[in-house]
Amino acid sequence: MPLAPKIIVATSNEHKLKEIKEIFNDFNVVGMSKDYIAPEETGHTFCENALIKAKSIEHLGEIVLADDSGIEVQALLGLPGIFSARYSGGNDYQNNQKLLEELKHHANRKARFVCCMVAIVNKKTISAEGILEGTIAFEPKGENGFGYDPIFIPSGFNQTLAELGSDIKNKISHRKKALEQIRKKIMEILK
């Protein structure tokens, strides 16, 4: 039986890595060590930032993968967008609180999660984008998730991603959609 292809992911985020491993389960997925410092995200889009991260670890393996993702809120003209992780200057809880505060006087609570995956496979660069539409809840709910999961209600559901849990999240998430597309492209290159 041949060895599973190795994918090195430009993240030390255990939550993100777990999600990628669950979806990319027939590959040997390896993240970065805890002391990994991601390069400065100077891009203007999720895909530009993902490419910066992928290029920063390109020398480590034949297949490297990076993503950039965040939440875009319609009433805030797409913010926090590429600034999602550092929106409040604090942690996930503070980011959620800032977003809820800014939406306090808005009736429009439409939002979407966006994920751009970039892979470099044998020196070829490929990308894929996934989107999950939904709305922002009025308060955080749920324990199963990270980032904005406790305040994001996906379209077609009445619970937050953090309430729905990883089984459902991994079936519908923006990251899963991007991973499925990037996986097809990786497999075509590896043929």
Report the side by side order of strands in the sheet with 124-136. Answer: 28-30, 6-9, 63-73, 110-121, 124-136, 152-154
User: Which positions ≥6 away from 77 have C-beta within 8 Å?
Assistant: none
Give the bridge partners for 58, in sequence order: none
What confidence score (pLDDT) does residue 1 get?
A: 47
> How far apart are alpha carbons 158 and 174 in whole angstroms?
18
pTM: 0.91
* Number of continuous H segments (helices) and E segments (strands) in the chain: 6, 6
Average of pLDDT values for 54-65? 95
Look up residue 143 and give its amino acid: E
pLDDT tens-place string over residues 64-91: 999 999 999 999 999 999 999 999 999 9
Q: What CATH code is assigned to 6-190?
A: 3.90.950.10
For residue 149, indicate whether it is catalytic: no
The residue annotated as part of the active site, out of 67, 68, 92, 149, is: 68
pLDDT computed for residue 75 by the predictor: 98
